[in-house]
């Protein structure tokens, strides 16, 4: 399903329906200056098909429509599948280090593995504490769902509450801040190591202290989360992501070096050949699109390192947020001078922004988590096949579903969500427009923040290796500046505090005794919103959304 999400089909489908050309004729005439440099096979060229897709009330299943779609759909499907195979191979390369040697916690697997543990002497899902957790979380979501439909029903505040900024210095530097108490995030946070949950909220507030300092020093007048202003949290985080990705890959160097040995397991060798093949397909695609191979290679390096860090983030924290701080293109602009590229190259490279925009719904976290679950049920080799088949099905069904929706309702219709249909594709085109205007030079302050972020993460990695029990985890620093942490710091703080008190006063036995309650809370926090979603589908009415808004 991730392949039907952000940075995949959600961004690709409006683009292959040539929303750029449609917008160039209406709201964005300046885009017409570079439309001629877009390869014709990137998007539909038939004006009538473009019009039908944007206005709706049409059928996808017409001969001339399918013929117009055939080449763009095939081209982007090949690239999406090659990227999916690329991340699956990376997941296979780090699998043994993460699962067997470091034995990362993978908190997201605990609930599904508990539910399928039918042969356990007394599985957790048969305990009263488990169903108490289901009940508590479920009642919260039931009441809040009723409140959405009938405002007289009281609301239980678990979603984020925003507080206005203070008016006086130094507190004005904090800007607006939010608290939230998402049950499933608290429950997952209870199952992660204390140093991880502590770092998730500690570095968030350390970042707010940075905001206060730069506001006091007069480097900005706006407090709070402002990524484009000092201290450039997202650029710090991008530097941290690159260093951490390289470090995590380096730790797996023996596994990577050993895949060609005769004694190596067959899955390792196959992953090595598949990695070479996927990179070859992606670079061949780039060559046909007139993207310079060094630029395409830089894209793959950044994409791969970011994906590894996102996989590690989920493996260690189970975070409800899995996005890179900057997109691949914004990060590439920090590492190379895009101003030396031709207009054709910049236009084609800009279209790849659909796949590299914050790596939302990246596959590697799902793939490595699936491999971890397969270890528990002795399905090691088969999981690779299942993941590959799932990628093919995900690409084809994701593209088909969105095409069906857009031809039925129209991209410009109020009946489809405006952000994925109209706004998300425009990020790439806005980036292209800025590049062609000469806005390729990166301010020195952002470069300093980028390098500093990498340095801090390297220091944190070294401290964790040098001092047993070091309480600060570099993953917390890498995600601290992301906007989603404004909503997640509080649940992680609650989880950390509850687990700290549990371990200090009750010990490991009490912690294990409480686990069924928190697993039940995760299930209850999902079951009831799923029920509301079914009601919404049947009634055609928007229902209560439990996370994040």
**How far is Cα 520 from Cα 511, in angstroms, rounded to an integer?**
15
Residues 6+ apart with CB under 8 A from 337: 440, 441
Asked if residue 110 is part of any domain, the answer here is no
Cα(432)–Cα(442) distance, rounded to whole angstroms? 15
Average pLDDT, rounded, for the chain: 92
User: What pTM was computed for the model?
Assistant: 0.95
pLDDT of residue 445: 92
Tell whether the model's pLDDT for residue 98 goes beyond 80.
Answer: yes
What gap in Å lies between CA 94 and CA 278, rounded to an integer?
17
pLDDT at 508: 96
Q: By residue range, what is the domain housing residue 251?
A: 2-105+236-471
165 falls within a domain: no
Averaged pLDDT for residues 17-25? 91
Whether 213 is covered by a domain: the verdict is no
- The total number of structural domains in the chain stands at 1
* More confident: 224 or 337: 337
| Spatial distance between the Cα atoms of 423 and 420, rounded to a whole number of angstroms | 6
**Alpha-carbon torsion angle 414, 419, 424, 425, nearest 10:** 0
Residues in a beta bridge with 179: 161
Tell whether the model's pLDDT for residue 3 goes beyond 70: yes
Q: Where are the alpha helices (DSSP H) in 252-379?
A: 253-257, 266-288, 293-317, 328-335, 343-351, 353-356, 364-376
Instruction: Quote the percentage of the chain above a pLDDT of 70.
Output: 96
What span, in angstroms and rounded, lies between the C-alpha atoms of 354 and 36?
19
Q: What is the per-residue pLDDT for 487?
A: 92
The residue-averaged pLDDT of 86-108 equals 94
Residues recorded for the chain: 549
Quick one: average pLDDT of 186-214? 95
Mean of pLDDT values over 329-353: 95
Whether residue 83 lies inside any domain: the answer is yes
Predicted local distance difference test score (pLDDT) of residue 494: 98
Q: What was the pLDDT predicted at 326?
A: 94
Q: In terms of C-beta density within 10 A (0-12 exposed, 13-18 middle, 19 or more buried), how is residue 258 classed?
A: middle
Residue 264 banded pLDDT, cuts 50, 70, 90: low
Q: What is the pLDDT of residues 382-401, one digit of tens each?
A: 777 888 899 999 999 999 99
Q: Per mean pLDDT, which of 159-163, 270-274, 289-293, 317-321 is the most reliable? A: 289-293
Orientation of helix 9-16 relative to helix 63-96, angle to 10°: 150
User: For position 162, what pLDDT does the model report?
Assistant: 87
Backbone angles phi, psi at 163, to 5 degrees: -105, 140
Q: What is the helix (H) or strand (E) element at residue 526, kind and residue range?
A: helix 507-539
Q: Assign 3-class secondary structure to 71-95.
A: HHHHHHHHHHHHHHHHHHHHHHHHH
DSSP 142-165: HHHHHHHH-TTS-----S-EEEPP
Is 77 contained in some domain? yes
Q: How many helices (H) and strands (E) does the chain have?
A: 24, 2
* pLDDT greater at residue 26 or residue 285: 285
Nearest to 316 by CA among 511, 464, 517: 464
Distance CA 86, CA 83 (A): 5
Q: Is 46 helix (H, G, I), strand (E, B) or coil?
A: coil
- The DSSP code sequence of 195-225 is HHHHHHHHHHHHHHHHHHHHHHTTS-S--S-
133 falls within a domain = no
pLDDT digits (tens, 9 = 90+) for 399-455: 999 999 999 999 999 889 888 888 888 899 999 999 999 888 888 999 999 999 999
Angle CA 515–516–521, to nearest 5: 100
Residue 13 makes CB contacts below 8 A (sequence gap 6+) with 399, 402, 403, 406
pLDDT of amino acid 502: 98
Who has greater pLDDT, 311 or 168? 311
For residues 349-356, average pLDDT: 95
287-329 tens-digit pLDDT:
999 999 999 999 999 999 999 999 999 999 999 888 999 999 9
Provide the pLDDT for residue 222: 59
Query: Is residue 415 one of the residues assigned to a domain?
Result: yes
pLDDT over 90 (residue 221): no
**Phi and psi angles of residue 178, each rounded to the nearest 5 degrees, phi first:** -130, 150
Quick one: pLDDT at residue 121?
67
Q: Is residue 282 part of a domain?
A: yes
| pLDDT value of position 270 | 84
The pLDDT value given to residue 291: 98
Cα distance between residue 382 and residue 467, in whole Å = 39
Cα–Cα distance, 327 to 355 (Å, whole number)? 9
Q: Is the pLDDT of residue 5 over 90?
A: no
């Amino acid at each position: 399903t991730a392949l039907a999400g952000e940075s995949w089909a959600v961004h690709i489908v409006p683009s292959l329906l040539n929303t750029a050309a449609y917008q160039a004729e209406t709201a964005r005439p300046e885009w017409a200056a570079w439309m001629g440099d877009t390869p014709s096979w990137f998007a539909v060229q038939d004006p009538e098909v473009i019009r039908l897709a944007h206005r709706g009330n049409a059928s996808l299943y017409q001969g001339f429509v399918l013929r117009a779609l055939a080449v763009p759909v095939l081209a982007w499907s090949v690239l999406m599948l090659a990227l999916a195979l690329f991340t699956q191979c990376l997941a296979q390369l780090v699998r043994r280090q993460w699962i067997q040697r470091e034995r990362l916690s993978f908190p997201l697997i605990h609930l599904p593995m508990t539910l399928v543990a039918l042969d356990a002497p007394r599985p957790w899902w048969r305990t009263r504490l488990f169903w108490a957790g289901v009940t508590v979380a479920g009642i919260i979501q039931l009441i809040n769902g009723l409140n959405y439909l009938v405002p007289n029903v009281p609301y239980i505040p678990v979603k984020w509450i925003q507080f206005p900024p203070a008016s006086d210095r130094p507190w004005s530097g904090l800007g607006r801040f939010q608290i939230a108490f998402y049950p499933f995030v608290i429950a997952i946070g209870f199952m992660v190591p204390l140093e991880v949950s502590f770092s998730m909220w500690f570095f968030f507030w350390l970042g707010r202290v940075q905001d206060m300092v730069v506001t006091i020093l007069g480097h900005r007048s706006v407090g709070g989360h402002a990524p484009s202003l000092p201290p450039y949290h997202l650029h710090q985080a991008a530097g941290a992501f690159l260093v951490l990705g390289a470090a995590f890959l380096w730790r797996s160097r023996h596994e990577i070096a050993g895949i060609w040995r005769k004694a190596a397991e067959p899955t390792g060798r196959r992953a090595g050949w598949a990695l070479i093949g996927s990179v070859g397909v992606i670079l061949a695609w780039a060559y046909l699109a007139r993207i310079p191979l060094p630029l395409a290679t830089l894209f793959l390096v950044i994409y791969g390192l970011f994906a590894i860090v996102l996989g590690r983030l989920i493996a260690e924290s189970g975070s409800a947020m899995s996005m890179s701080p900057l997109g691949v293109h914004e990060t590439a602009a920090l590492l190379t001078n895009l101003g030396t590229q031709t207009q054709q190259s910049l236009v084609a490279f800009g279209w790849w922004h659909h796949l590299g925009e914050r790596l939302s719904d990246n596959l590697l976290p799902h793939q490595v988590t699936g491999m971890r679950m397969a270890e528990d049920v002795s399905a090691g080799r088969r999981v690779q096949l299942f993941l590959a088949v799932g990628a093919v099905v995900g690409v084809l069904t994701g593209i088909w579903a969105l095409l069906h929706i857009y031809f039925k309702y129209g991209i410009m219709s109020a009946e489809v969500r405006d952000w994925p249909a109209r706004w998300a594709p425009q990020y790439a085109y806005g980036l292209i427009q800025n590049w062609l205007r000469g806005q390729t030079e990166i301010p020195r302050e952002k470069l300093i923040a980028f390098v500093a972020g990498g340095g801090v993460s390297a220091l944190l990695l070294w401290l964790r290796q040098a001092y047993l029990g070091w309480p600060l985890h570099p993953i917390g620093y890498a995600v601290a500046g992301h906007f989603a942490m404004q909503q997640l710091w509080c649940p992680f703080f609650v989880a950390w505090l509850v687990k700290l008190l549990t371990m200090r006063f009750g010990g490991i036995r009490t912690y294990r005794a409480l686990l069924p309650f928190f697993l039940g809370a995760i299930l209850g926090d999902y079951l009831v919103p799923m029920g509301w979603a079914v009601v919404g589908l049947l009634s055609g009415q928007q229902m209560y959304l439990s996370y994040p808004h």
